[in-house]
Amino acid sequence: MSWRLVFLINVPLAAAAVAITLRHVPESRDLDAVDPPDLTGALLVSVGLGGVVFALIQGPAHGISPPVVAAAVVGIVALVAFPLVERRRRQPLVPLEIFRSRQFSGANVTTLAVYAAFGGALFLLVLELQQVLHYSATAAGSALLPITLIMLTLSSRTAKLSQRIGPRLPMTVGPMVVAAGLVLLSLLRPGDTYVSGVLGGVVVVGLGLALTVPPLTAAVMGAVDERHMGVGSGVNNALARIGTLLSVALLPLAGALTDLSPADPAYRDGISRALLLSAGLCVIGGLVAFVTVRRAAVVGPLTQPSLSHACGDPCMLDEHVA
């Protein structure tokens, strides 16, 4: 059977999410929103991202072909048109004024950089484990489990820490730690064991992400007013996915991997270059957070009555953010 069938797992999960949401999630509304949903904005940003990503992925494989050029042109035009259309809407999909907040914009740049670095590096690392070190698909996936376990274990603690000291320091140090883990993984060579070549880098990356993600979420949500918290969260999540999409398309090009065989020693060197580029992206994300994110603990919308009520206890806001 085709590997593509794995994507069908999303169907029952999405159906369950819809059912649970309709039954258990309380409704929230922007009472000022009287216009219908901004379908034009949604269409423009979807076509724009789809066209650009299609061109980046298919371009190396098929060259400058008419479909690739058409997708790139349509995607770029749609993305350029998106903010122009949003500016003229009374109730846009993405209110552009939320980007006037330096913390909101900076935290989202950090999100884009860190998730681009992590998503692209994860993609290439799995390929390297299978094609260079000859791991099975199951073993390659299992090799990365420490990242998930570390985040599950430490995220609530780092959320509490960021509530005490503010998100700026964790969001600066965390991406630097992720960068250090990616540098360690860039040193992986054929013949290395899991313990000597993979585990250390994976653990360091997991520690960096656990330090970065909860305060990042808090910084984003603390930078927008209550009526824009939904769109603020949506923008942040969208940028995380966009970062991963773009890095998966661009990092193989940056590492000059597209025309290389896994048996070629240059293939390993290309992955190493791409992992170092990912580490550089993380460093940029940490520096942006240092410059743009407030040092004070996150308050504002996170402590407003409606959200405190939703959490059940204002003292547990850090758990809610995590």
Q: Compute mean pLDDT per 10 residues along the chain, 322 residues long, and list them.
A: 90 97 85 79 91 83 83 94 89 85 90 92 89 89 92 89 85 94 90 88 94 87 81 88 84 72 75 91 93 68 38 36 37
What pLDDT sits at residue 26? 87
What pLDDT sits at residue 91? 82
What pLDDT sits at residue 297? 54
What pLDDT sits at residue 307? 37
- Residue 130, classified by CB atoms within 10 Å of its CB into exposed (0-12), middle (13-18) or buried (19+), is middle
- Does pTM top 0.85 for this prediction? no
What pLDDT sits at residue 300? 47
Alpha-carbon span 277 to 118, nearest angstrom:
11
Alpha-carbon span 180 to 250, nearest angstrom:
21
With b for 16 or more beta-carbon neighbours within 10 A and e for fewer, the 32-48 pattern comes to eeeeeebeebeebbebb
What pLDDT sits at residue 100? 85
